[in-house]
Structure 1
Amino acid sequence: MGVRNSCAVGLGRLTSWGLRRVLHRNASQMPGRVALAVDPNAIAHLAPKLSEGAIVVCGTNGKTTTNNVLANAIERSGRTVLCNRAGANMAAGVAAALLPGSGADWAVMEADELSTIHILPQLQPRYLVLLNLFRDQLDRAGEIDHVQDTIVAALAASPATTLVVCGDDPLSVGVALRAKKAGTKVLAFGIGEDLHLPPDRVPEARFCQVCGAELAYDYRAYAQLGAFRCPNGDFERPKLDFVATGVRVDAHGVAFGVAFPEGGTAHVSASFGGVYMVYNLLAAAAAAHLAGVDAASFQAALDGYHPENGRLQHFTVGGREVVLNLAKNPTGFNQNISLLQTDTRPKAVFFVINDDFNDGKDISWIWDVDFERLLSEKDLLAFAGGHRANDVQVRMKYVGIKAPVASTVGEVLGRLGSVPLDRPLYVLCNYSALWPAKAELEGMGERHD
């Protein structure tokens, strides 16, 4: 370690100590910013402290849950792990997570799609797990082809990295196809059976990544994910190395079997989720298997895992159940709607949409959310919140649902005062709205798992 890197690490650790111990603040990014300001190659200089290597988890939806489940599983197997559990998924967050201690067995790092070009070339991970690609934050990320180009370039700069890709997602497979031609080893995971679910109204990808023909499907799981093929034979779902079968998804959670590439199977179950969670947990199981974690340790880690950071967190406030979750793009919202519809009770929903920098100023995507499905809900009570509450109101007006504006979760709960307590409240927020809602619920309610 050179003088410059020693200074970067020392100042980064000092910053972390000051934030945590003196100011009692979150230290998930700033220490990394300080380290990278002193040494732009700080991640590369910290990477050798990992005795077994690194796994990076990337994708539009599900990164934090998949990343943290995987980190817990590797820890359960007896190895030490450095992880950006709070979801600080740009280069500064990765650098901050690498700062503690003199060494570790593994790093398990969530990465923003566009940040892969800054993270992979320095970290040189053994595996990149690509969960899915959807339109998200269009004013920052641009269209999907720009995101694909970035990930392909990042893999080209990390030639020893194996890509573990969702084989059911045409957009992710498009990345895999290009990366494989450049020499990247590719492994695919996916669901190996028809779940007999209705297709989403506005799928993210309809066309072949090679010739542009409209894709045909034997079946879909959600959005564009499923058993796809080009009618011209140019492009299709690859052979799956990790296959989920016997899938069960209901109000009690998810369960499925996993078939591994070299033979053998494992059973995975969790008390939370939806169809999208099957993919998240399948990806985590695949990466854990590649990292040498046995099936029993993975399930034990999953049994002890409780969603954090506002992702599917449950609270009780004044005797009423409140479910908090992130919903930041059309596919995420549609999956949240599917999830709440597995709950057959009458319910209330609070949609909170902000337009801060980390959300994206362009919220026209709310018109691609299939809110019309909510018309099948009996006695639904809907509320709109956030900086763009009025936009949500207009969208709900076109659905035919009244959604009065509320400023906080507490205000919504107050308006539900005369409503029976057995009616749960679902709070669906995008990025910048999630943390305030989480803090408010933690301050006035009791969390339960």
Structure 2
Amino acid sequence: MIFRFLLALWLAKIAMVMSKLTGKGRGSSLPGMLALRICPDILKHYSSQTGRGAIMITGTNGKTTTSNMLAGALEHAGYKVINNREGANLLTGIVTSFIKISSFTGKVSCDYAVLEVDEAAFPVVIKWIQPRMVTITNFFRDQLDRYGELDTTISKVVGALKKLSADTQLVLNSDDPLVAKIAAETGYQTTYYGIRPAAEISGRASYSREAKFCPFCSEALTYAVYIYSQLGDYKCPNCGFTRPVPDIEAASVRHRQAKTVGAVIRSGSSEWRLELPVQGLYNLYNALAAFTASIKLGLKPEVVIASLNRYLPVTGRMETFKYKNKKVILALVKNPTGFNQALDGLLVGDEEQDLLIAINDNDADGRDVSWLWDVDFEILLERQERFKRFICTGQRAEDMAVRLKYAGVSVAQISIEKDYNLAIQAALSGECQVISMLATYTAVWPVEKILSGMSERVKFSEDHGMSSVS
């Protein structure tokens, strides 16, 4: 048994090195895949080596950002952390994360394992690693061909949660009824986070909502305030299910005046000022989740706030580049809700811009691209004078072009270029000083690689613009 483990570990480490030397892939999943074929129970060897336990983050959007924010706060406080930082959140990626910091004898030295876990992989991962805390961000439709209906995904997560020990702690988004209900279904100690509902942050009612009915009695939910999708101040008029009062809440939110987001974070009578160098209410939710989990782990609020205020998105999830005198922003999009939030971010500011959209339909993206018709591209027409060109690329470039045409974008503004290199060159050669690029999961990495070879990566900017919602 030990021989099999060591063989899996050594071969995985060799694969990791070869991946870096050849430049093929990121080495975030392949080593774990190889190790699991040789030693399927390899995580068993690591499960007891996290001194203070494992924290898992799951949900549809925001897992990567929340996980990295939490890991960053813990490291800022002086702890050693294992973290699947690049977003490889299936079993293979999690195994790779442990192998990466493991010695050649299989020893790891860390205080916490902060693991982003795919919703579908969550029941599998917890068979090997029992988390002391689970943070759930939200639930939206995402890759129906891989996950199935949303109710199926949620039921699998809840079923897995019920198998954990009774002292498991939950950190839940109180503004999402699909998440908030899990406290009653599991009975675990729960800490809620949320954004104080206010008219000035209310989102567009046209955004697709995943939860129109009460999860307990099926009566239609009523809302005092929508924030986006089904997130907001909800209540069931029949059974009384309502938005739980958050233990930690963001108030006085500022998110449309600049390409940053700020808020006052309140817990009881205490409050702290948060100024994230990224844009969007979705990132405020991510920061709230990370802040709440950090406080429950015993970190000082001031330490966490300081860490969050200097947060930088992970490579490939949001990048800012400088090409000559132009700014290029690259962001990941993967489902209707996330895409809607990214488009909403494009409307901030007054710069004219060109927009490149790269859509793939590989397994990791989801084979079914009909979800593009649930994205509210029509909102771009509210500021149509700002968008000069729409360049569609990737395996499903034609589908994207058709969707834009039906959204009302002039055909004269739309071009199709399947080749990434040519598409990016076309985007960079325009007259606009700002180029926004939105890409699905398997498209974002080749686009990022090409951009990094043609332009200068901006490590930090007070004007980050969009950030990925993953």
* Bin of the TM-score, shorter chain as denominator length: over 0.9
* Alignment equivalent of 1:404, drawn from 415, 418, 421: 415
RMSD value, Cα: 2.2
The letter for the 1-side match of 2:42 is A
5+ residue gaps, structure 2, are: 103-107, 461-470
The letter for the 1-side match of 2:169 is T
1:339 has 2:339 as partner: no
Q: Secondary structure at the match of 1:104?
A: coil
Q: Is the 8 A contact 2:28 2:93 kept in 1?
A: yes
Alpha-carbon distance between aligned partners in 2 of 1:297 and 1:407, rounded to the nearest angstrom: 46
* Alignment equivalent of 2:326, drawn from 314, 320, 338: 320
Aligned to 1:220: 226
Alpha-carbon distance between aligned partners in 2 of 1:301 and 1:339, rounded to the nearest angstrom: 24
Aligned CA distance change for structure 1 residues 337 and 41 (closer, same or farther; 3 Å): same
Greater CA drift, 165-174 or 72-81: 165-174
The offset of 1:54, in angstroms, is 1.1
Alignment of 1:32-431 (within 5 A): 32-99=32-99, 100-101=101-102, 102-159=108-165, 160-180=167-187, 184-194=188-198, 195-250=201-256, 251-260=258-267, 264-377=270-383, 378-380=385-387, 381-401=389-409, 402=411, 403-408=414-419, 410-412=421-423, 414-415=425-426, 419-422=430-433, 424-431=434-441
Alpha-carbon distance between aligned partners in 2 of 1:185 and 1:447, rounded to the nearest angstrom: 43
The offset of 1:146, in angstroms, is 1.0
Q: Secondary structure at the match of 1:440?
A: helix
Alpha-carbon distance between aligned partners in 2 of 1:415 and 1:2, rounded to the nearest angstrom: 54
1:444 has 2:415 as partner: no
The letter for the 1-side match of 2:422 is E
Q: Secondary structure at the match of 2:438?
A: strand
Deviations 1:259-307, CA, capped at 9 Å, x for gaps: 236x533222111120111101111111122222223322332344321
Q: Is the 8 A contact 2:207 2:228 kept in 1?
A: no
Q: Secondary structure at the match of 2:51?
A: strand
Greater CA drift, 24-33 or 169-178: 24-33
Aligned CA distance change for structure 1 residues 337 and 437 (closer, same or farther; 3 Å): same
Q: Is the 8 A contact 1:43 1:123 kept in 2?
A: yes
The letter for the 2-side match of 1:220 is Y
Aligned CA distance change for structure 1 residues 290 and 9 (closer, same or farther; 3 Å): farther
Q: Secondary structure at the match of 2:181?
A: helix
Alpha-carbon distance between aligned partners in 2 of 1:33 and 1:414, rounded to the nearest angstrom: 35
Aligned CA distance change for structure 1 residues 409 and 35 (closer, same or farther; 3 Å): closer
Q: Is the 8 A contact 2:428 2:435 kept in 1?
A: no
Deviations 1:87-136, CA, capped at 9 Å, x for gaps: 11011211221232432001111110010001123211111111011001
The offset of 1:72, in angstroms, is 1.1
Aligned to 2:467: none
Alpha-carbon distance between aligned partners in 2 of 1:196 and 1:17, rounded to the nearest angstrom: 48
Alpha-carbon distance between aligned partners in 2 of 1:16 and 1:436, rounded to the nearest angstrom: 19
The letter for the 1-side match of 2:144 is L
Aligned CA distance change for structure 1 residues 29 and 350 (closer, same or farther; 3 Å): same
Q: Is the 8 A contact 1:210 1:234 kept in 2?
A: no
Q: Is the 8 A contact 1:254 1:272 kept in 2?
A: yes
Aligned CA distance change for structure 1 residues 18 and 412 (closer, same or farther; 3 Å): closer
Aligned to 2:468: none
Deviations 1:323-345, CA, capped at 9 Å, x for gaps: 10011111011000111111222
Q: Is the 8 A contact 2:197 2:232 kept in 1?
A: no
Alpha-carbon distance between aligned partners in 1 of 2:331 and 2:350, rounded to the nearest angstrom: 18
Q: Secondary structure at the match of 1:432?
A: helix
Q: Is the 8 A contact 1:254 1:274 kept in 2?
A: yes
Q: Secondary structure at the match of 1:281?
A: helix
Higher relative contact order (CA 8 A, sep 6+): 2
The offset of 1:244, in angstroms, is 1.1
The offset of 1:38, in angstroms, is 3.5
Alpha-carbon distance between aligned partners in 1 of 2:109 and 2:440, rounded to the nearest angstrom: 35
Alignment of 1:11-30 (within 5 A): 11-20=11-20, 26-30=26-30
Alpha-carbon distance between aligned partners in 2 of 1:343 and 1:49, rounded to the nearest angstrom: 48
Q: Secondary structure at the match of 1:49?
A: coil
Q: Is the 8 A contact 2:202 2:228 kept in 1?
A: no
Greater CA drift, 103-112 or 233-242: 233-242
Alpha-carbon distance between aligned partners in 2 of 1:176 and 1:440, rounded to the nearest angstrom: 45
Q: Is the 8 A contact 2:277 2:311 kept in 1?
A: no
Q: Secondary structure at the match of 1:227?
A: strand
Q: Normalising by structure 2, report the TM-score.
A: 0.89
Q: Secondary structure at the match of 2:292?
A: helix
Q: Secondary structure at the match of 2:56?
A: strand
Deviations 1:393-449, CA, capped at 9 Å, x for gaps: 111111121321123565345445774343x11111111111111111101011112
Q: Secondary structure at the match of 1:123?
A: coil
Alpha-carbon distance between aligned partners in 1 of 2:429 and 2:134, rounded to the nearest angstrom: 50
Q: Is the 8 A contact 2:20 2:26 kept in 1?
A: yes
The offset of 1:355, in angstroms, is 0.7
Q: Is the 8 A contact 1:245 1:256 kept in 2?
A: yes
Q: Is the 8 A contact 1:121 1:158 kept in 2?
A: no
Aligned CA distance change for structure 1 residues 417 and 19 (closer, same or farther; 3 Å): closer
5+ residue gaps, structure 1, are: none
The letter for the 1-side match of 2:294 is A
Greater CA drift, 324-333 or 285-294: 285-294
Alpha-carbon distance between aligned partners in 2 of 1:252 and 1:158, rounded to the nearest angstrom: 40
